[in-house]
Amino acid sequence: MTTSKTALRYPGQAIGILGLAFLMSACGGGSDSNSANGGGNVSAGNPAPITNVLAPDAQIVAYLKSSNIDFIPGANGRPEGTWRWPATPDQHVAVYLPAPATGNATEQDYANKVTTSVNLINAKLSGLLVLDLTGTRPASGNFIQVSYLTSYVPQGSTDYAGYCANVATGPNIGSMIVPDAGNNIASGPVYVNLGNGQCNVTQDIVTHEFGHALGLANHFASFGDAPANSWTLAYFDVLATLYGNPQSTPAANIVVKRAKN
């Protein structure tokens, strides 16, 4: 929802995945209209709300390219093209939602919002992707883990709203998830860190974070960048397109898929 800060600390080349570290994409409820994203975001170019306007196919491809395809090219030896959770269509991805602490209204609120966002994404991506909520931590394998009150706030920062939530390889850290040599999401688990005790985790923020957890690395107009009230349509179409094409599909070969209404 706000400024994204993506920085490559180590050039990719032949170093292992554990050698790769990235700053987070900060996502909060603020109103920043400009992105400091280093990932080459597509500029909105149009300040008017576009909520009910279908983005053209070329725009969807451009968003997917800037957010996913162009993210750390070659890192871990990954081939050109898209990266994501594997084996679509109809890929199932477990989402571990820990039970809120008894009497903790904040955690309960976040848990409710996660359920709402998961149901929304499943409806929008029907036939392409299924997020399976579970209250039991999977014993192995890659999955998404929801974590309460563990958003990464950089040392020295007091911008708690700007760093209200993030997706990373663990709690309280800003290391972004990365693709492996097969263009699979390599982190296990992928943490969705919600809240830090000093910000308002909105429904939109939760839905936004799942976009990161599904492979959208860099923000774009309709995903974290202004205008704030116009993000949903293209966002879901970009996700549908990501999961409606095989992994490692280069931008030139992308077939745009539209989310369900």
Smallest gap from residue 103 Cβ to Zn ion (A): 30
CA pair distance 186, 131, nearest whole angstrom: 17
Give whichever of 4 and 249 is closer to Zn ion, judged by the CB atom: 4
Only one of the segments 13-21, 22-30, 49-57, 68-76 lies at the binding site for Zn ion (rule: CB under 5 A); that segment is 22-30
Interacting positions 133-152 with Zn ion (CB under 5 A): none
Smallest gap from residue 194 Cβ to Zn ion (A): 12
Considering only 20, 23, 24, 27, the residue that binds Zn ion (CB under 5 A) is 27
The token duo for 125 is 């991506």
Only one of the segments 26-34, 96-104, 116-124, 152-160 lies at the binding site for Zn ion (rule: CB under 5 A); that segment is 26-34
> Strands (DSSP E) along the chain, which ranges?
91-96, 129-134, 144-148, 165-168, 190-194, 220-221, 224-225
Check residue 25 for interaction with Zn ion (CB under 5 A).
yes
Only one of the segments 25-33, 98-106, 107-115, 185-193 lies at the binding site for Zn ion (rule: CB under 5 A); that segment is 25-33
DSSP helix/strand/coil, 151:
coil
Residue tagged 């349509």 (tokens): 233
Only one of the segments 24-32, 72-80, 134-142, 237-245 lies at the binding site for Zn ion (rule: CB under 5 A); that segment is 24-32
Only one of the segments 18-26, 71-79, 105-113, 172-180 lies at the binding site for Zn ion (rule: CB under 5 A); that segment is 18-26
Smallest gap from residue 36 Cβ to Zn ion (A): 13
CA pair distance 24, 217, nearest whole angstrom: 9
Give whichever of 195 and 224 is closer to Zn ion, judged by the CB atom: 224
* Cβ neighbours of residue 144 closer than 8 Å, sequence gap 6 or more: 93, 94, 95, 96, 131, 189, 190, 191, 192, 210, 213
Check residue 28 for interaction with Zn ion (CB under 5 A).
no
Check residue 224 for interaction with Zn ion (CB under 5 A).
yes
Give whichever of 27 and 249 is closer to Zn ion, judged by the CB atom: 27
Smallest gap from residue 127 Cβ to Zn ion (A): 26
DSSP helix/strand/coil, 9:
coil
Question: CA neighbours within 13 Å on the CB side: how many for 256?
Answer: 18
Interacting positions 77-96 with Zn ion (CB under 5 A): none
The token duo for 67 is 């957010």
Give whichever of 165 and 254 is closer to Zn ion, judged by the CB atom: 165
CA pair distance 178, 75, nearest whole angstrom: 8
The token duo for 212 is 């990161």
Asked whether 53 and 185 are in contact (CB, 8 A), the reply is no
Give whichever of 167 and 249 is closer to Zn ion, judged by the CB atom: 167
Return residues touching Zn ion (CB under 5 A).
25, 27, 224
